Amino acid sequence: EEGGKKLELIPGDMYILDPMYEHVGTRASWCEYYYIHFTHPALIKLQDEGIILWNRLAKKRGRALQSNKYSYDLCGDTRLYLPRYYNLAHYSSLLQVEGLFNEARKYNENQMEYYKTLCGSKILEAIILISRSYTSTKVFTQVQSLPKSYPVVEELLTFLNEEYVKKITSNLLEEKFNRNFDYMNRVFKQVTGTTIFRYLTRVRINRAEMFMQNATLTMAEIGEQSGFSDEYYFSRVFKKKTGEAPTGYLKNSMKSNLFTNPFTGTETKEEKSAE
């Protein structure tokens, strides 16, 4: 009971209790539950859920899936939405959250250095999983502007981000997702603003730029590990997308990442700027 209002919870339920009210149990009942106390300097209580919030969460998911995972930039708004009440209907999600809470409890009992940081990180991870689950289930059933095939777009984005090294063709995508490629491409562009293969090229170029931070790889190896089977095709596409040939990009990247050599006394970029 919260402030005189009775709450009946079922397995998988989570509920955020308002600290402004008194909370009491109304009757004895055998159950297992986690009671977590946490604070945050910038908690904001929203009055209610609505289409504006749901659209915002859907866009947040889309931006994250389209972001460059090799960049240090944050994916837009970093605020996390947690529903006041939510039921983790998917058993696998419930087990994941329960496992994280158990890990948090173990860290808290351990009391070695940084134990509170580790405990808090596990609780945060669990909260993020709950928020993601809410977005995947609640939001996409409420936002009418999203196409019914939005989950397929999510699957496509995940597949392209994970399997970019493979030779991905329209036939392969049709076979994997059991849908017509033209239809998938049309819906994909409707949601992301770009086509499937343009997005795939962007993922591969981002990966190549990351590999270029490692000077031990040859240009052919960088192209191959980024999903380009032909070195010359890789060079042509890279220059078209970045405005710079891979060799020039690599050279500039090496210049901007100088480190002090303790044996030769080579200056770092930071040491030069300090002068």
Looking at per-residue pLDDT, the higher value among 241 and 52 belongs to 241
Q: Is 155 in contact with 191 (CB distance < 8 Å)?
A: no
SS3 for 107-134 is: HHHHCCCCHHHHHHHHHHHHHHHHHHHH
- Residue ranges, comma separated, of all CATH 1.10.10.60 domains in the chain are 150-255
Q: Is 89 in contact with 12 (CB distance < 8 Å)?
A: yes
pLDDT band at 262 (very low <50, low <70, confident <90, very high): very low
- By percentage, how much of the chain surpasses pLDDT 90? 26
Average pLDDT, the chain: 81
What was the pLDDT predicted at 144?
A: 55
3-state SS assignment for residue 86: strand
CATH number of 150-255: 1.10.10.60
What was the pLDDT predicted at 148?
A: 67
Cβ neighbours of residue 70 under 8 Å, at least 6 residues apart? 206, 207, 209, 210
What was the pLDDT predicted at 122?
A: 94
Instruction: Give dist(CA 161, CA 145) in Å, integer.
Output: 25
Q: What is the pTM of this model?
A: 0.60
Q: Region 233-247: what's the mean pLDDT?
A: 87
Question: 115-169, pLDDT tens digit by residue?
Answer: 999 999 999 999 999 988 888 777 666 655 566 677 788 889 889 988 999 999 9
